[in-house]
């Protein structure tokens, strides 16, 4: 069996690296062009739990609006949260702002290079610190995302199910991380998992590590990595109240900073519970059930959201929330936008 060599992967990456808006090509890196740590960091935060395809448009918009970390640090929270809407996992956006302000205020707008210093920044965990240190600063740190886990489990025929296998996979990945071109290597191994060593039907015939891959030799590559059986997600229910005045202003609320969708714009509503939701309208009005529900899945549960709509008088004083005459539905997180779209459809049908 052929020796497993990082240089084989780097040669492949030199020819086949994905073109991404936050990335410096391997050719440019060899010519001395250095990555912008701000762009590397921003992309890595956006890519957490989100696909490359979904992130690219958001990344381009963010870097157009806030081209430097100092620009992002000076931005209004509401503006950043509105542009983040649709990416999900909104705690990332809150930590994004906190981190930008720490780097701008305490580090003069320059990210520290050391992994331990990076770990001390808001919203930066072990993976992001390793990715930023390696990609932005060429530090020989080991990245371990889902793509790298899959590559390592197949290369070394690791049959221990995830997540229990993570420490073993990290040790194996660290053993391959080179001292030279560490940033290119980190991106190369992630590209390999994303484009060739894919979850289903891996393209082993064109893989630069096909010869030393133990799983390919055993013919079980598509079965790895193994994963422990997940518990079924619980289902929670709730009610959202969508009220509109005659002048077009909608009754909205800014959700608490802590918790799901923290700091985001949304609709007043009930608690989300596995029990039957309790009616809790934000204002006394002729609320009516639209007859449908919004379904949305979060990390730990499925949500079923019943909707109530009402036309509100100009003199009502809501118990919760505030009226927004300049309301923009595009600023809503996905589940709240689903509620808006369904309510608008039902209102139009009723008017028709």
CA dist 276 and 256 (Å) reads: 23
Structure tokens at 284: 């006394």
Strands in 87-195 per DSSP E: none
The torsion angles phi and psi of 291, rounded to 5 degrees, stand at: 85, 5
What angle in degrees, to the nearest 10, is found between the helix axes of 182-195 and 6-16?
A: 70
Among residues 109, 106, 130, the alpha carbon closest in space to that of 118 is found at: 130
Contact by Cβ (8 Å): 293, 307: yes
Angle, vertex CA 51, rays to CA 48 and CA 52, nearest 5: 105
Catalytic residue numbers? 44
Angle, vertex CA 234, rays to CA 233 and CA 236, nearest 5: 135
Computed from CA positions of residues 60, 63, 66, 69, in that sequence, does the dihedral angle turn out positive or negative? positive
Q: How far, rounded to the nearest angstrom, does the alpha carbon of residue 160 sit from its chain's CA centroid?
A: 27
């Amino acid at each position: 069996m052929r020796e497993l060599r990082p240089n084989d992967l780097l040669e492949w990456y030199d020819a086949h690296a994905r073109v991404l808006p936050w990335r410096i090509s391997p050719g440019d890196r060899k010519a001395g062009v250095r990555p912008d740590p701000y762009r590397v960091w921003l992309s890595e935060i956006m890519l957490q739990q989100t696909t490359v395809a979904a992130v690219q448009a958001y990344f381009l918009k963010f870097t157009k609006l806030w081209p430097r970390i100092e620009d992002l640090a000076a931005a209004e929270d509401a503006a950043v949260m509105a542009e983040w809407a649709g990416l999900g996992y909104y705690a990332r956006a809150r930590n994004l702002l906190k981190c930008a302000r720490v780097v701008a205020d305490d580090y003069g707008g320059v990210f520290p290079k050391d992994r331990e210093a990076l770990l001390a920044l808001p919203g930066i965990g072990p993976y992001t610190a390793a990715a930023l240190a390696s990609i932005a600063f060429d530090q020989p740190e080991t990245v371990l995302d889902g793509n790298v886990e899959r590559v390592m489990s197949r290369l070394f025929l690791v049959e221990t199910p995830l997540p229990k296998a993570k420490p073993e996979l990290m040790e194996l990945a660290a053993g391959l991380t080179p001292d030279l071109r560490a940033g290119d290597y980190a991106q190369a191994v992630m590209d390999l998992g994303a484009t060739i060593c894919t979850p289903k039907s891996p393209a082993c015939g064109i893989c630069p590590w096909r010869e030393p891959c133990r799983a390919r030799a055993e013919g079980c590559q598509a079965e790895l990595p193994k994963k422990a059986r997940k518990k079924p997600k619980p289902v929670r229910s709730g009610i959202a109240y969508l009220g509109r005045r005659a002048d077009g202003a909608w009754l909205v609320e800014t959700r608490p900073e802590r918790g799901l969708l923290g700091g985001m714009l949304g609709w007043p509503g009930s608690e989300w519970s596995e029990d039957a939701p309790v009616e809790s309208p934000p204002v006394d009005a002729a609320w009516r059930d639209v007859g449908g529900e919004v379904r949305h899945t979060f990390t730990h549960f499925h949500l079923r959201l019943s909707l109530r709509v009402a036309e509100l008088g100009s003199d009502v004083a809501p118990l919760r929330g505030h009226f927004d005459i300049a309301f923009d539905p595009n600023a809503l997180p996905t589940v709240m936008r689903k509620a808006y779209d369904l309510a608008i459809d039902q209102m139009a049908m009723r008017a028709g």
